[in-house]
């Protein structure tokens, strides 16, 4: 940690790395929202982005936290949610992944991530990445030690247009090893008039993802990511509707 004291960002990360709700829940589900927040400390000047860009989907998964909170409340389930923007460091990427600290997100270059020295990169890992994943690991460890069942589900959202291409998909269930659990979710969602797919709009990659491969598959736990198109999560009514679709299935 001594080297981190030389980081140009020393003292910027004064807020906790995460918010933990319903820690002592008896429900087997642990909800994870890695892209819950667009918060960037004021001293980092939105990483050089415009005011509008720093509040767009590149900085967070719009609507994901509201949906995760709705599910947590409906089920009484534990929720671990990030308190900082994924532009600082992506909590659903291994630290060695090229886009762990992104230089560009879709069409937007991220000036504040350009030419970061290793000391500052490690400082972000120590302040933001490691506490989040250590807490998730501890939550899982405690439940396993107590003989409780555990499922890990990440809540995400995606854009209706990506690189100029519209996306008709409304919800995707992403999985690695937990095929049966994922299929139950897909079958349940398909009972509604929804455009549903498996492993869309992204696929789980053990070299590029964290939550499912590390905290789920590697530990033999049922684990998936839920991706909902973010234009469907823009109102409280719509968030409540999606929570209603998902809660009985999780």
When pLDDT is cut at 50, 70 and 90, the band that residue 1 belongs to is: very low
pLDDT at residue 6 tops 80:
no
pLDDT per position as a tens digit, 128-163: 999 999 999 999 999 999 999 999 999 999 999 988
Mean pLDDT of 11-24: 97
Sheet of strand 171-175: strand arrangement: 18-21, 78-82, 29-33, 151-158, 222-229, 171-175, 196-198
The DSSP annotation for 206-233 comes to TTT-SIIIIIIGGGT-EEEEEEEEGGGS
Look up residue 223 and give its two tokens. 């684990």
- For residue 149, list its beta bridge partners: none
* Closest among 126, 27, 47 to 88, alpha carbons compared: 47
Largest CA distance in the chain: 55
- CB count within 10 Å of CB 164 equals 7
Tell me what pLDDT residue 19 has: 98
What pLDDT, on a 0 to 100 scale, did the predictor assign at position 5?
Answer: 65
The mean per-residue pLDDT over the stretch 45-56 comes to 95
Q: How far apart are CA 123 and CA 83, in angstroms?
A: 16
> Average pLDDT of the chain?
96
Mean pLDDT for the stretch of residues 3-32: 92
List C-alpha distances in Å: 35 to 140, 185, 207. 20, 22, 19
Q: CA dist 53 to 80, 81, 101, 108, 160, Å?
A: 26, 22, 17, 8, 16
CATH of domain 3-246: 3.40.630.40
Q: Are strands 108-109 and 104-105 parallel, antiparallel or unpaired?
A: antiparallel
- Residue 2 confidence (pLDDT) above 70: no
Are 81 and 18 in contact, with CB atoms under 8 Å apart?
Answer: yes
pLDDT of residue 107: 82
Enter the pTM of the model: 0.96
Tokens of residue 86, six digits: 């994924």
The string of pLDDT tens digits covering residues 190-237 is 999 999 999 999 999 999 999 999 999 999 999 999 999 999 999 999
CA 39/CA 36 separation, integer angstroms: 9
pLDDT of residue 117 exceeding 90: yes
């Amino acid at each position: 940690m001594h080297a981190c004291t030389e980081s140009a960002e020393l003292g910027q990360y004064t807020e906790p790395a995460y918010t933990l709700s319903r820690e002592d829940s008896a429900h087997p589900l642990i909800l994870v929202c890695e892209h819950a927040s667009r918060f960037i400390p004021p001293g980092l000047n939105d990483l050089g982005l415009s005011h509008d860009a720093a509040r767009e989907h590149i900085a967070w998964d719009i609507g994901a936290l509201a949906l995760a909170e709705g599910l947590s409340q409906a089920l009484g389930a534990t929720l671990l949610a990030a308190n900082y923007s994924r532009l600082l460091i992506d909590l659903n990427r291994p630290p060695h992944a090229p886009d762990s600290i992104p230089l560009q997100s879709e069409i937007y270059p991220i000036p504040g991530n350009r030419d970061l020295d290793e000391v500052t990169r490690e400082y972000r890992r120590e302040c933001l990445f490691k506490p989040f994943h250590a807490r998730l690991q501890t939550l899982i460890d405690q439940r396993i030690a107590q003989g409780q069942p555990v499922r890990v589900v990440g809540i995400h959202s995606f854009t209706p247009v990506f690189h100029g291409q519209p996306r008709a998909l409304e919800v995707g269930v992403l999985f690695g090893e937990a095929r049966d659990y994922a299929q139950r979710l897909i079958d349940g969602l398909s009972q509604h008039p929804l455009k549903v797919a498996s492993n869309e709009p992204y696929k789980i990659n053990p070299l590029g993802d964290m939550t499912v491969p590390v905290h789920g598959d590697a530990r033999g736990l049922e684990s998936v990511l839920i991706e909902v198109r973010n234009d469907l999560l823009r109102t409280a009514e719509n968030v409540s509707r999606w929570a209603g679709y998902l809660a009985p299935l999780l």
